[in-house]
Amino acid sequence: MTDTSSSAAESLHLKFCGLSLTSPIVLLSGCVGFGEEYTRIEGFSNRDAGAVVLKGTTLAARLGNPAHRVSETAAGMLNAIGLQNPGTANVIERILPELDFSETRFIANVSGSTVEEYAEVTRLFDDSPIDAIEINISCPNVKEGGVAFGNYPDMSAQVVEACRRVTGKPLITKLSPNQTDIRENARRCIEAGTDGLAVINTVMGMAIDANTRRPVIGNIQGGLSGPAIKPIALLKVHQVYEVARKHGIPIIGQGGITTATDAIEFLIAGASAVGIGTALFYDPMVCKRVNAGIAQYLREHGIGSVTELTGTLRI
């Protein structure tokens, strides 16, 4: 590696929730399986990402929702997979030992239908090699009639508090855009003990087959991701940053990132790292391009580290 390329690589290094990342890119939960899906593609490497978030995991195995579970939209994708996964014990005992932790940081994604389930899954991952834990608070609370934990600050805080009590690993809370005041939710999650925030989860939407007059998604509604939600996500990152910076809490900005320019915009808005998900489905090599583009931007603007970009929006 030449001095120039070495310097470019070093400019992308950062600390996030105490973890050393070689790139600001985080591969998002649900888009890379359990860290092995894209390794079958020639040229793909987990080393191109600073961290990989594993598929959402519940205490017991789940089969997920009925078909259809994915539908392409004009500028993105609707999905309602339904948290299909083999259960926490299988992930810890069979999947984690197969991952190469020298390549990147691996983050578990914890999901549940009760506060108690969130806490138990977190406790089990605490006694594993996983580097950090992301809390998916967009799950429905079965004890409260199916309302999403993440749409109500009180319930969000309860989940974070329960998980915080059972782990010393970094906790990252994934915030939903489908709520009244994301800033208040962020504040409550920070007070409850989260170490970082992921902003945002998918935006709820639906698709209809005009010929059959039926919903395209078997679950009727699904999460919209991809370029269509980028303006929404940028605003939410900016709003959450207003709260998070006061407490020194870093943000993973995500939602429709497909280019280096997209990633840079999220960093400027207040993100410390950036999540890439839907873009991987049609461009598995997107991380290489985004890393190279960010490094070039830093060189052109005389910026020594990607960390210097965070929260530099001029208003």
Count of other CB atoms within 10 angstroms of residue 312: 11
Adjacent-strand bridge partners of 148: 140
Active site includes 139?
yes
Catalytic residue among 139, 163, 189, 287: 139
Catalytic residues: 139
